[in-house]
Structure 1
């Protein structure tokens, strides 16, 4: 057998790989845009600004946050997904990617195919909260009140396919009316005023309101208590099973982004998220720094997408 053609092919592949890697050795050599698919001041925007500042220092280039809100994150996400796959346009994605894909027809992008996961940045539990003047002092009390007042019970939601919002009523035998909002910031005034019975947003949206007494936290998702709300039980501790899923945030690039760029960004995020000042800044926002490199984050993201699709099928959600 003549091995010369094989050796030549292997040598050519090695040379090509080396050339491809060296072509991106100087990345980034200009500012990087970090697209936030929501308006300034929200949870996704807040973590993005903390990460962008420190990531820029690590990369020795500016990382500029660019807010492109609208359509529950879809406008900015499509923009990022359609950008050139060169590492200079990134996306701060979050939990919304899963339920949008599972519940929305004719999306102009596919989160499973058009985005390259780079690294997870943070996570936070979902928190069951009620107004401070609610008669419910715990989960059992809230469930009892809703069963006694089925025509008055309601909750605010941002996405129709959010698993926690759907599983909580199912697992407690209650039937509160779902009221949809364009964002958590739009729903909170109605909750604070008592026009909604409860909400289950991420901790980053409500921890300050709980700590200053304007809202009462009754339970958190996850397998352990959240350190910022250490006296609040998990749903399992409160007697409601199957509510372990938490909210998360992560960095993405357009599909097709060169792997040397993906690896450089992933490695940088692991360092950035371990910085004490970053951990402290996120903690103040009610977010836990929880980095995952590309392989682990890709597996995690795939599981999230499947989980949301499963919930959509389980509840026969109408795709809109």
Structure 2
């Protein structure tokens, strides 16, 4: 009996010695899935589809976009966090990862431990917009209306909202009704139709509607004006402080994914984000290609996690 076990062990060891060690060159051997934790047509979805097409071409493998909205993006993020750590299930993450972790009492995963930042892809400011039919031409006019009509003012938010959506009412002394949606694409028709007073949304979702005259931009977040809307003031210029932050997007994989796979994905994503056609495609969406390799994106993400905890504490931001 013992002799048989010893023989099997030796045979297994011999087979293992003959098998080649894992190499990033062996990856990928099957299609890759990038999970978008929001509905199709939103800001996260828009950048993902641009990246997926070009990343698939570089990896010579299909890269599929998988929309899994719900629970303020936690359904999709948790799905990836618990997926096999083999490099075939990725998450297009964004500021929601830091915001959810800082403000939600219960969350099924820990973004700081269960996900590995692979590569940042882009960044852009948020835009405060109102329907084109709205009488408001400035932030001051909008704020004055909301103070005078607290029961009639409302805004659309994706999931449970974001720091921008929550800080804006706090710093303007207003209390508009928050209407929740699974994605920006489902909220914008209500805004355009005048069923919402305003929204603060990513550039890629609102720029097309600003361009066609369906929405009016009143202000942008960040420290400088947005190049696509040079006549639109920053929030600070419009009299609202505390909204200097901008949005970002990046790829993540489950914890314990082999370093060779993380490095391969990071390197190829960097190359994708530097391609002229990708830069141009994102620019049309109002997104700046802002690649960061894993070595830089990981500390950036950790700093974002800490920053959002501080913002949540400072403004007492909590979500259900």
Greater Cα offset, 40-49 or 306-315: 306-315
Aligned with 1:228: secondary structure? Answer: coil
Q: Which residue of 2 aligns with 1:202?
A: 202
Greater Cα offset, 79-88 or 310-319: 310-319
Aligned with 2:231: secondary structure? Answer: coil
Mapping of residues 1-320 of structure 1, within 5 Å: 23-160=23-160, 162-320=162-320
Deviations 1:79-123 (A, max 9, x none): 211112121221111222122223333322111110000011111
Q: Distance in 1 between matches of 2:47 and 2:272?
A: 12
Q: Distance in 2 between matches of 1:159 and 1:75?
A: 11
- Pairwise CA distance, 1:26: 2.4
CA contact (8 A) 1:21 1:260 kept: no
User: Normalising by structure 1, what TM-score?
Assistant: 0.87
The number of equivalent residue pairs is 302
CA contact (8 A) 2:70 2:159 kept: no
Deviations 1:129-163 (A, max 9, x none): 11112221111222222233333222222244511
- Pairwise CA distance, 1:25: 3.7
- Pairwise CA distance, 1:317: 4.0
Greater Cα offset, 20-29 or 86-95: 20-29
Q: Distance in 2 between matches of 1:20 and 1:319?
A: 49
Q: Distance in 2 between matches of 1:24 and 1:282?
A: 28
Aligned with 1:200: secondary structure? Answer: strand
- Pairwise CA distance, 1:60: 2.3
How has the CA–CA distance of structure 1 residues 289 and 218 changed in structure 2, closer, same or farther, with 3 Å as cutoff? same
Structure 1: runs of 5 or more not aligned:
1-18
- Pairwise CA distance, 1:56: 1.5
Q: Distance in 1 between matches of 2:126 and 2:133?
A: 21
Deviations 1:41-96 (A, max 9, x none): 32222211211111112222222222233323222222211112121221111222
CA contact (8 A) 1:155 1:179 kept: yes
- Pairwise CA distance, 1:297: 1.3
CA contact (8 A) 1:121 1:292 kept: yes
Q: Distance in 1 between matches of 2:59 and 2:70?
A: 30
Q: Distance in 1 between matches of 2:302 and 2:63?
A: 27
User: Normalising by structure 2, what TM-score?
Assistant: 0.87
Q: Distance in 1 between matches of 2:224 and 2:69?
A: 33
CA contact (8 A) 1:103 1:160 kept: no
Runs of 4+ residues over 6 Å off in structure 1:
none
How has the CA–CA distance of structure 1 residues 70 and 147 changed in structure 2, closer, same or farther, with 3 Å as cutoff? closer
How has the CA–CA distance of structure 1 residues 302 and 20 changed in structure 2, closer, same or farther, with 3 Å as cutoff? farther
CA contact (8 A) 1:124 1:287 kept: yes
